[in-house]
Chain A
């Protein structure tokens, strides 16, 4: 079952380290979205990518955060110099098209804890 795969499932980093979160979309999907979720809160949009292109990064913090979706390999969300406030669940979702009625398929998320 080639669903959306995220790894690692859990990631612990000390303040100041880098966190790299990986997402492989569903087979055949070329649209990838990253979301952040705090406990008891809704999903907050971060970035929308297609292969090799960032389409919308309006939800990404201007500093320390970056995302890519290379021609080959998974999408990567990179957080440099992590701080305690970065602790959250980060979900990746993919869709086959960017159509307005195309549902998103989510991975199981990466839970980042910054100590």
Chain B
């Protein structure tokens, strides 16, 4: 079966750094995405990893280890507006003909405190 695990909720302090982990067990792998979703709003794209290593984009970085089925999203210099849910999604083969779909984690709710 397909499984993606993320912590349900995390709390961090404004100005600090936080790491949100995502582990996955999927049949086939063709990339991992991170999205941000504020309450009541649409998910917005943050990052994409398909090769092992770190991708840096401003205050946000995303890391992937395919051998470990593991990714993390690193947020630096946290701001109050970063309070949101962070969704990990893996593109995995779900059908016999290897048609790929995005499998979504339940999301990590990040709470930023002053």
The answer to whether B101 touches A108 (Cβ under 8 A) is no
A41 within 8 A of B: yes
Q: How many residues of A are in contact with the other chain, CB < 8 A? A: 22
The answer to whether B87 touches A107 (Cβ under 8 A) is no
Is chain A's binding surface mostly helix, strand, loop or mixed?
loop
Are A104 and B102 CB-contacts (below 8 A) given A58-B94, A91-B42?
yes
List the A side residues contacting B89 at CB < 8 Å.
43
The answer to whether B30 touches A45 (Cβ under 8 A) is no
Q: How many residues of B are in contact with the other chain, CB < 8 A? A: 26
Q: Which residue of A lies closest to B47 (CB)?
A: A103
Q: Which residue of B lies closest to A56 (CB)?
A: B99
The answer to whether A108 touches B106 (Cβ under 8 A) is no
List the A side residues contacting B106 at CB < 8 Å.
40-42
Contact for B102 among A4, A45, A91, A107, CB less than 8 A: A45
Partner-B contacts on A (CB < 8 A): 4, 35, 40-45, 48, 56, 58-59, 91, 100-101, 103-109
